[in-house]
Structure 1
């Protein structure tokens, strides 16, 4: 059965169309930290209920929300979700797998941990093989599908909190400001202090920074 969704139909339209096609439990999955050169890659998956109870006030792609907005939306998602999960792929595994495979592995694990298991999964951007249910990769899915947007918020909030904790251990890198992404400030601190043990050696700028400082 074909599922057609208009671009201007709103953030809940994908799930509504899939439910009309016979899929009841619809998961969205997204990640945070793919482009960072330090810290973990974090993926989340969410199943929101149908109807009004699944409509999260203020929900949008995490990148379109401020820190304060994400912090307000985050508990709303957790309280309304039928199921949610979050997984971390640490920097050493990112180095071993490469970022593309680490990203797919993280999304796959996040969906697999949902209980109950979804009937259908929507992933942001990339098709994810190895899922036990039908799935659809949606370009900019975190902007057009509510469950993916919810997953993006969970992943982003979780990862930001992890990087804030790392800032307490490694304040010289200013992880509380750039969260491990490749900003000019981060590069300046890398060149000044060298790489830490949570930096990803698969990034050339990290390898150029030289030594790995132990905790």
Structure 2
């Protein structure tokens, strides 16, 4: 597909992909990449970043950075995801990544779904990160960038194990959330994070737009905590709960 577009004079072609959409902690990272004509064949290891080992991803990342005609990487913090929602920020991140290219693309290929508002004609390619070289390159740039950010965040919040699961919802991550509650870099709009926050009596450190599922779960958690407090008023010293955030108020 990439070579066909180039041959028809519709290039340069930019591929766009993200990393971290399904995580409940850490940023969303979106990358756009324009490869040189013929580099799809030269970058022999290039494929969907999820299919590569960490060492292979690092090798491909270095080669793409060195050889790409142009690339742009956008990091969207958890607070922005919480404010407007993951799908909205995913679309916005792809727009920002394409806008950040110095080379104006003639065509844009996105992975999986259509992105309105791009500055060039675009096409959504199902499993594009496995079939189109420039999308795969963007996938690697986004994934490696995000993994490195999560490794750094592990140094700040070692109890969660971000260096291992990279902020995705695993059994170990869920257990840490239950034990410690969420950190400032968690996505407080997500159901499991909102539930853990309510259980620990914490408010989000930034504005949050809860999903319907998260709001329902949060209300259930608050009701359960209310019952515990009302049954133990003597030991609770008259503490009460806020129905909005589940935070304990002295």
**Same fold flag (TM > 0.5):** yes
Please tell me whether the aligned partners of residues 40 and 133 of structure 2 are also in contact (alpha carbons under 8 angstroms). Answer: no
Q: After TM superposition, what 4+ stretches of structure 1 lie above 6 angstroms from structure 2?
A: none
Are 2:112 and 1:119 aligned? no
**CA distance 1:52–1:172, shift in 2 (3 Å):** closer
1:31 corresponds in structure 2 to: 18
What are the ranges of 5 or more consecutive residues in structure 2 without an aligned counterpart? Answer: 206-250
How far has the Cα of 1:126 moved from its partner? Answer: 1.5
**CA distance 1:183–1:212, shift in 2 (3 Å):** farther
Q: TM-score, normalised by structure 2?
A: 0.78
Query: 1:48-67 maps to which residues of 2 (within 5 A)?
Result: 48-52=35-39, 55-67=42-54
Query: 1:16-165 maps to which residues of 2 (within 5 A)?
Result: 16-52=3-39, 55-165=42-152
Are 2:186 and 1:199 aligned? yes
Q: For CA contacts below 8 A with separation 6 or more, give which structure has more relative contact order.
A: 1
Separation in 1, partners of 2:57, 2:196: 33
**CA distance 1:49–1:173, shift in 2 (3 Å):** same
Separation in 2, partners of 1:202, 1:108: 23
Q: Which protein has the larger Cα radius of gyration, Structure 1 or Structure 2?
A: 2
Please tell me whether the aligned partners of residues 195 and 212 of structure 1 are also in contact (alpha carbons under 8 angstroms). Answer: no
Instruction: Give the total of aligned pairs.
Output: 201
Separation in 1, partners of 2:163, 2:5: 39
Separation in 2, partners of 1:112, 1:126: 18
**CA distance 1:53–1:60, shift in 2 (3 Å):** closer
2:156 corresponds in structure 1 to: 169
How far has the Cα of 1:53 moved from its partner? Answer: 7.7
**Cα RMSD for the two superposed structures:** 1.4
